[in-house]
Structure 1
Amino acid sequence: MSYRFIGYAIVSEDGMLADAKGTIPSSMIVKADQDFFMRGLDAAAALIHGRNSAEQPTGPHRRRLIATRHVATTASIEGQPNALHWNPQGIPVEAALAALGVTGSDVAIIGGTDIFGLFLPRYAVFHLTRAANVRLPGGRPVFPGVPEQTPEQLLAESGLEPGTPTVLDAARGVTLVTWSSVMHAPRD
């Protein structure tokens, strides 16, 4: 079983996913980024996220692992036949994905901080969108270690290389950079 872990995040200028209360401000909701994100989710065999990220419009048909410390390994979720709770300390992600019925392919990692950090050494690709005109001091960082280091520094230290920036919204200063691992080359 071979999995490609692909991260998706939009962050503020200071590397935050949300403010201190966990709220994503409207200034970081960008239609072009949302469209890109949803296309990525549609192409993924499964999603992995924490409980707060579960509020994303992921749809009941998507296979999902929802990380939690409240189960030993994995556990079914009542009313969600395509989702499992998963304890990253209790069982390897590959075993949890197999329990979910996913035997390979692309897996989208959609947050939050601890989940993004957990996969930092394993990303094949990380799509990092920046809202350059938004600052969220004291907010929730994309990775553990931010703001001491930038998200870009942490991605580079993990062996990913940046691609060419794509402007998603020039007026709002929103750009997307796809970081790729040399060890996990993108598929054609």
Structure 2
Amino acid sequence: MATISVPVLRIEGFVIVSADGRLANARNVMPDDLKIEGDKRFFTAALERADLIVHGRHSEEEQANAPKRRRIILTRKVEATAPDPANPKALLWNPAGCPFETACGEIGVTSGSAAIIGGPGVFGMFMDRYDTFWLSVAPRVRIPDGEPCFPGVPDRSPQQVLAGHGLRAGEAQLIDAAHDVSVTPWRRVS
């Protein structure tokens, strides 16, 4: 009996956070202190490899190739899915209206990798689905009244949230020595 191979979409998350687990200030804007060159290079390279980018309305990437990438933008302004009138490579998706897999099929990406780039609610939706979550930490930056990176932060650290969802930390890589910024891959424990 022949086995049928089903395409699989790898789910990877990406965020840089302050020492106190924040990704934006109180106005929901990423402060310049978190825009660190080593992390930008890491993030850009990861997005270049991704087949699909997934984010909320405040989490757009600021890169030259951004308009060329297929993306799903989470919103409550549509019933299920709708083309993004501002971007022919983007699909608006309301998670209450249809499953993620349906939205992926509509944008034409059913295998390869999806890069989840935020914000906090979007990250939270995929917590139990990540194959790998790439957590960059800027230990010299603090944003006391800022936007937590994940639901559950600051009561728990970002690392505790990831571990609580079955992810295990791999070896950290220093990506910006000048700012002491490292990225750690958190991988799903089988």
**TM-score scaled by length of structure 1:** 0.93
Match of 1:170 among 166, 173, 177: 177
- 2:4 equivalent in structure 1: none
- 1:156 equivalent in structure 2: 163
Higher gyration radius (CA): 2
- 1:146 equivalent in structure 2: 153
Q: Deviations over 1:135-156 (max 9, x none)?
A: 1112111101100001100100
- 1:186 equivalent in structure 2: none
Secondary structure of 1:7's counterpart equals: strand
- 2:55 equivalent in structure 1: 49
- 2:100 equivalent in structure 1: 93
- 2:73 equivalent in structure 1: 66
Whether the 8 Å contact between 2:21 and 2:149 is mirrored in structure 1 is yes
How far did 1:55 drift? 5.0
Q: CA-atom RMSD, angstroms?
A: 1.2
- 1:3 equivalent in structure 2: 9
How far did 1:104 drift? 1.2
Matched, 1:117 2:100: no
**Structure 2 unaligned residues grouped into runs of 5+:** 1-6
Alignment of 1:101-112 (within 5 A): 101-112=108-119
Matched, 1:37 2:43: yes
Aligned length in residues = 183
**TM-score scaled by length of structure 2:** 0.92
Identity %: 44
- 1:28 equivalent in structure 2: 34
